[in-house]
Amino acid sequence: MNTLPDLPCYLNGDYTTLPHAKVSVMDHGFIFGDGIYEVVPVYGGRLFRFDQHMVRLTRSLKETRIHNPFTAGEWAEIALKLVASYAEQTVSKVENTDQMVYFQITRGVALRDHVMPTDITPTVFAMSNVLKPANDAQRQQGVACITADDFRWEKAHIKSVSLLGAVLARQMSFDVGATETIMFRHGHRSEAAASNVWVVKNGVVIGPPKDHLVLEGIRYGLIEELCQAQGIPFELRPIRCAEVFTADEVMLSSATKEVLPVTRIDGKPVGAGKPGPVYQRLYQGYQLAKEATPTSAPAGS
C-alpha distance from residue 82 to each of 51, 88, 174, 221 (Å):
18, 10, 31, 26
Question: Is the Cβ of residue 34 or residue 191 nearer to ligand PLP in the bound state?
Answer: 191
Catalytic annotation on 159? yes
Binding site for ligand PLP (CB under 6 A): 166, 191, 194-196, 215, 217-219, 253-255
Residue 208 CB, nearest approach to ligand PLP (Å)? 11
Task: List CB contacts of 82: < 8 A, sequence separation 6 or more.
Answer: 8, 9, 10, 15, 101, 126, 127, 128
Question: Is the Cβ of residue 98 or residue 110 nearer to ligand PLP in the bound state?
Answer: 98
Beta bridge partners, 189, equal: 184
Residue 36 CB, nearest approach to ligand PLP (Å)? 12
Q: Which residue is nearest to ligand PLP (CB)?
A: 217
Residue 220 CB, nearest approach to ligand PLP (Å)? 7
Question: Is the Cβ of residue 41 or residue 142 nearer to ligand PLP in the bound state?
Answer: 41
22, 81, 93, 159: which is the annotated catalytic residue?
159
Question: Is the Cβ of residue 166 or residue 251 nearer to ligand PLP in the bound state?
Answer: 166
C-beta of residue 209 within 8 angstroms of C-beta of residue 237: yes
3-state secondary structure of 228: helix
3-state secondary structure of 222: helix
Residue 166 CB, nearest approach to ligand PLP (Å)? 6
Beta bridge partners, 196, equal: 253
Q: How far apart are CA 134 and CA 170, in angstroms?
A: 17
Which residues carry out catalysis? 159
